[in-house]
Every structure is written in C-alpha cells, then in structure tokens.
C-alpha cells in the first residue's frame, strides 16, 4: 500500500492497525469472516472504476465487454453452488436484497411474517425502526420460553390468521436448523410466498453440511460475507418464474450501478465455495461451534436452545450476573471479540441486553480446530468470572495473541 501510505497516512495507519487487530484477536462475531487473498485482490481492483447499470448483455453504458464476463461468471458459479434457477449478484448487501424482494412482491401496507428481532430475527424482517416495518405491515413469530425453539404448530396458526403475503424463514441469532419443508407447507396453506434469508448459514449450505432451503423457497437472499466467506455483498436467488420481477426490483427498483469489484470478488468466492476444501471448512465450522458450545455448557453457561446445530451460539448470561454489554467489553479487552445480543424474552434493553452471541466461521478460516475452541471456552469463562479484573484481561489477551501468532488468518500471513 505504498501509494496510500504516502498520500493518506492517517487512513493507511488505520488499515495497518486493523490488520493487526484482526490478526491478534480471536474473532467470534457470528456474521464475520476472513476472505482469501484472492477475494481481497478482486475487491481492490480497477473494476471499482466502472459503471454498469443494467444486466449482462443489456447495459445503459458502453465498455462492458469484461464486466459482462465477470458478472456472468459470478452468476453461473452461484447457480452451480446452490443449484438454483436464477441468481442476481448485484444487491449491495443483505438489507437492500431483502428490500428488493419486498419491492418485487408487495404493495405498501401488505403483511409480512418473520421471526421477531428480539428472538433472533433480522431488522429487515419487519422491525419497526426499519423501512420493512414502516412501509409494510409486519407480524412476528416468537420462540418458546422453555426450549428457546420455534413451535411450528403455533407458527402455522399465526400464519393462517394473519395471512402474510411473504413468510420469512431466516435469522441472525438462532442456533438451530430451520425446518424448511414445514415452512413451505405453511406458506402454501396460507397462500404466502416463502422467502428464506440464508445470510448466516449460506456457507454451510454451500459446503453441504446444512439442509438446503433451495427446493422449498420461492426466493432466497444471502449476504456473501458471513459463512460464505466472500466480499461484503449479497445475492438474491429464485425460481425461474420470479427472475424478471427480482431483477427489475434490484435495478432500477432499489439500486443504480452494481459494484463490479464486489461482483468479481463474489465470483472468486463462489469458485472457492465449490471446492472440496470449502466442504471441509464448512464441516469444521460445525465441529468447532459444537466444541465451544459443549465447553461453555460444561462450565455452567446457559446456551439458548441448549446448544447449537449451526455456526452460532447465543448465551443468556443472567445466571452469571453480568450483562451482555459488560461481558462483551471485558472479552474484547481480553482479545476475544463478539457482540452482546438480546435473548428471547429479554427484560433488558437492546443496547445492553442479557446475552452474547458468537460464531465459529472466522476462527475456522484461520485454522482453529477443536483444541483451540476448548481453549477459547476456558478463556471466556475466566474473563467472565473475573470481568472487573483488568490484570486477568491483560493475561488472557497475551495468551490469545500468542495462539493467534501460530494461526495466520487468510490474507494476513505476512504478519507472522
Ligand atoms: N448484522 C448481521 C449480523 O451480525 O448478524 C446481520 O445482517
């Protein structure tokens, strides 16, 4: 980055320090990952210079010979990885992707039904503060107080009563596999379109270690940067019959020119996601999450739903006498980075809720296996038990740094 260093030393310094932070800390935020050096190179390429409103073979600007090739490759690779009829790779991220789906199929005031935000749903599934909750009539399903899991009979009754135009299956903090077949049956019974927001578990589906929602969903959205390990971006996938409506809703409906550097990086990520190495990666994500969950359970932590079936864990800290925010800050000081999170039926406020959420995708990318996950569980317990003790945080931070130095993250090997 010699040009950046010379021209803008302040930003250069921030990037250098962020590289170091990502290298030296254990990143447990369930939605984050490390992209490969190849994905990073595509992201930082000259493709950022080009405008390409429109789609392959039908653009509003000239000079698209290579952009068309890039976008066509991204689409074809994603179609192969997920086995879908149609893919739109242009959404800037998950929120615009979901908004485009709503624009394609809803009128203002129409009803949508999604998982409640405090129960693990996503902002864009109808939360009041989001455009999805302001422009549409949002109803929410909740989890069961005792099990922390979804009751499909209750969901069915609710759907039959509120008759949503779109039923949404997807989450950002639910550690269980959704029953897509059941969602399909409920959508059919109430006449809804089924949208699966697979942002969190798309990489697990691509890796073949999680049931695929593709046979059941009318439309699927996903970000490309979580378990899927691509650049920050998104895709919308759908059955052929919805292709024209989806494309029109993305452009010109909600967006202008696609971010071609991101499209290229998505293409690279889709090539990676189709490999055997990625299958092994996805399987290790699950083993790592389970190991961390078991370690924490054995140390008295209360995991919502009693464990995990995917890459993420949600922990209710009420029995530990510490709030989610306080715990997350103490852990960050100790080099263990995660986020505080509401738990179902939380009595605390969203900015300082009762829980923390963590995931295994990023640490698995740097090569952590079961032994390292057990060690992380021990560190989390130690820091939470001694959360006011800055000496403990400093000691753990040093141990974390030492461990990380032997597991260079993809693209950060030069820091070892
Ligand atoms: N903000 C993301 C997450 O952390 O789960 C979802 O978009």
Residue 307 Cα, ligand 1 centroid: separation in angstroms?
Answer: 20
How confident is the model over 200-220, as a mean pLDDT?
98
CA dist., res. 380 & res. 354, Å (int): 16
**Mean pLDDT, rounded, for 100-125:** 97
The residue-averaged pLDDT of 81-90 equals 98
Does 53 qualify as catalytic in the annotation? Answer: yes
Distance 94 CA to ligand 1 centre (A): 9
Angle between helices 152-162 and 180-190 (to 10 degrees): 20
In sign, the C-alpha dihedral spanning 205, 364, 70, 98 is positive
What pLDDT does residue 267 have? 99
Domain 284-415 has CATH 3.90.1150.10: yes
Active site residue 197: yes
Q: Ligand 1 test: best mutation among 172, 197, 357, most atoms within 8 Å of CB?
A: 172
Where does CATH 3.40.640.10 sit in the chain? 40-273
Task: Report the pLDDT value the prediction gives residue 154, as an integer from 0 to 100.
Answer: 98
For residues 351 and 326, the answer to whether their CB atoms sit within 8 Å is no
Helix 370-385 to helix 324-333 angle, to the nearest 10 degrees? Answer: 120
For the beta sheet containing 137-141, the strands, ordered from the edge strand earlier in sequence to the opposite edge, are: 86-88, 234-238, 219-223, 193-197, 166-170, 111-115, 137-141
The predicted structure's pLDDT at residue 364: 98
Atom 4 of ligand 1, residue of closest alpha carbon:
31
Verify whether ligand 1 is closer than 6 Å to residue 221 (CB atom). Answer: no
Please report the pLDDT score of residue 353 as a whole number. Answer: 98
Ligand 1 atom 1, closest CA: 31
Among residues 24, 32, 50, 51, the one annotated as catalytic is 51
Q: What's the pLDDT at 320?
A: 97
Whether 390 is catalytic: no
Percent of the chain with pLDDT over 90: 100
Atom 6 of ligand 1, residue of closest alpha carbon = 172
What is the rounded end-to-end Cα distance, in angstroms, of the chain?
A: 18
- Choose, from 197, 218, 272, 316, the residue flagged as catalytic: 197
Catalytic, 19? Answer no
Site of tokens 């494309």: 247
Cα of 237 vs centre of ligand 1, distance in Å, is 19
Catalytic residue chosen out of the listed positions 79, 156, 232, 239:
232
Percent of the chain past pLDDT 70, that is, above it, reads: 100
Is the distance from the beta carbon of residue 170 to the nearest atom of ligand 1 less than 6 Å?
Answer: no
Residues contacting 413, CB < 8 A, separation 6+: none
For 317-348, what is each residue's pLDDT tens digit? 999 999 999 999 999 999 999 999 999 999 99
Query: Nearest 5°: phi and psi at 365?
Result: -65, -30
What pLDDT does 72 receive? 98
Which residue spans of the chain are classified as CATH 3.90.1150.10?
A: 284-415
Question: How far does the centroid of ligand 1 lie from the alpha carbon of residue 118, in Å?
Answer: 13
What is the 3-class SS of the chain, one letter each residue?
A: CHHHHHHCHHHHHHHHHHHHHHHHCEECCCCCCCCCHHHHHHHCCHHHHCCCCEECCEECCCCCHHHHHHHHHHHHHHHHHHCCCEEECCCCCHHHHHHHHHHHHCCCCCEEEEECHHHCCCHHHCCCCCHHHHCCEEEEECECCCCCCECHHHHHHHHHHHCCCEEEEECCCCCCCCCHHHHHHHHHHHCCEEEEECCCCHHHHHCCCCCCCCCCCCEEEEECCCCCCCCCCEEEEECHHHHHHHHHHHHHHHCCCCCHHHHHHHHHHHHHHCCHHHHHHHHHHHHHHHHHHHHHHHCCCEEHHHCCCCCEEEEECHHHCCCHHHHHHHHHHCCEECEEECCCCCCCCCCCCCEEEEECHHHHHCCCCHHHHHHHHHHHHHHHHCCCCHHHHHHHHHHHHHHHHCCCCCCCHHHC
Ligand 1 atom with least separation from CA of 223: 7
**Overall average pLDDT of the 3-25 stretch:** 98
Phi/psi for 313 (5° steps) reads -130, 140
Catalytic residue among 43, 223, 262, 308: 223
Average the pLDDT over 203-221 and give the result: 98
- Ligand 1, atom 3: nearest CA belongs to which residue? 31
The CATH-assigned architecture of domain 40-273 is: 3-Layer(aba) Sandwich (3.40)
Q: How confident is the model at residue 42 (pLDDT cuts 50, 70, 90)?
A: very high
Q: What's the average model confidence in pLDDT over 387-396? A: 98
Give the pLDDT confidence score for residue 76 in this predicted structure: 98
User: Does residue 33 line the site of ligand 1, with CB under 6 A?
Assistant: no
DSSP state of 359: E
> Which of 92, 121, 122 is the best mutation target for the ligand 1 pocket, counting ligand atoms within 8 Å of the beta carbon and taking the most?
122
Please indicate whether residue 223 is annotated as part of the active site: yes
pLDDT, one tens digit per residue, over 220-246 is 999 999 999 999 999 999 999 999 999
The rounded mean pLDDT for the chain is 98
CA of 309 to the centre of ligand 1 (A): 18
- What is the CA(10)–ligand 1 centre distance, in A? 28
What is the pLDDT confidence band of residue 197, given thresholds at 50, 70 and 90? very high
Q: How confident is the model at residue 219 (pLDDT cuts 50, 70, 90)?
A: very high
Q: Does any ligand 1 atom lie closer than 6 A to the CB of residue 31?
A: yes
Banded model confidence at residue 106, pLDDT cuts 50, 70, 90: very high
Q: Looking at residues 237-259, what average pLDDT do you find?
A: 98
């Amino acid at each position: 980055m010699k040009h950046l260093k010379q021209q803008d030393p302040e930003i250069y310094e921030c990037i250098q320090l962020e590289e170091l932070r990502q290298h030296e800390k254990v990143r447990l935020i369930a939605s984050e990952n490390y992209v490969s050096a190849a994905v990073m190179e595509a992201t930082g390429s000259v493709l950022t210079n080009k405008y390409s409103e429109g789609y392959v073979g039908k653009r509003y600007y000239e000079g698209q010979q290579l952009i068309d090739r890039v976008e066509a490759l991204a689409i074809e690779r994603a179609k192969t990885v997920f086995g879908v009829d149609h893919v739109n790779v242009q959404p800037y991220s998950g929120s615009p992707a979901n908004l485009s789906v709503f624009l394609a199929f809803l009128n203002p005031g129409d009803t949508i039904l999604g998982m409640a935000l405090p129960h693990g749903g996503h902002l864009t599934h109808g939360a009041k503060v989001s455009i999805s909750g302001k422009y549409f009539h949002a109803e929410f399903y909740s989890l069961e107080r005792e099990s922390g899991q979804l009751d499909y009979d209750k969901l069915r009754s609710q759907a039959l009563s509120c008759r949503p135009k779109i039923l949404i299956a997807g989450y950002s903090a639910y550690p269980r596999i959704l029953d897509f077949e059941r969602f399909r049956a409920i959508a059919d019974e109430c006449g809804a379109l089924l949208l699966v927001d697979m942002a969190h578990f798309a990489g697990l589906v691509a890796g073949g270690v999680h049931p695929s929602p593709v046979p059941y969903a009318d439309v699927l959205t996903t970000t490309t940067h979580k378990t899927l390990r691509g650049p920050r971006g998104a895709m919308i996938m759908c059955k052929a019959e919805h292709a024209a409506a989806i494309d029109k809703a993305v452009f010109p409906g909600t967006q202008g020119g696609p971010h071609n550097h991101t499209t290229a990086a998505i293409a690279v990520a889709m090539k990676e996601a189709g490999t055997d190495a990625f299958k092994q990666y996805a399987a290790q994500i699950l083993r790592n999450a389970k190991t961390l969950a078991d370690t924490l359970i054995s140390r008295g932590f209360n995991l919502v739903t009693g464990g995990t079936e995917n890459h993420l864990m949600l922990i209710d800290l009420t029995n530990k006498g510490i709030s989610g925010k306080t715990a997350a800050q103490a852990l960050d000081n100790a080099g263990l980075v995660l986020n505080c999170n509401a738990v179902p039926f939380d009595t605390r406020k969203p900015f300082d809720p009762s829980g923390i959420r963590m995931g295994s995708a990023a640490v698995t990318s740097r090569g952590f296996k079961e032994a390292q996950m057990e060690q992380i569980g021990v560190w989390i317990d130690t820091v939470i038990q001694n959360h006011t003790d800055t000496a403990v945080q400093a000691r753990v931070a040093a141990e974390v740094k030492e461990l990380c130095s032997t597991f260079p993250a993809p693209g950060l090997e030069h820091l070892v």
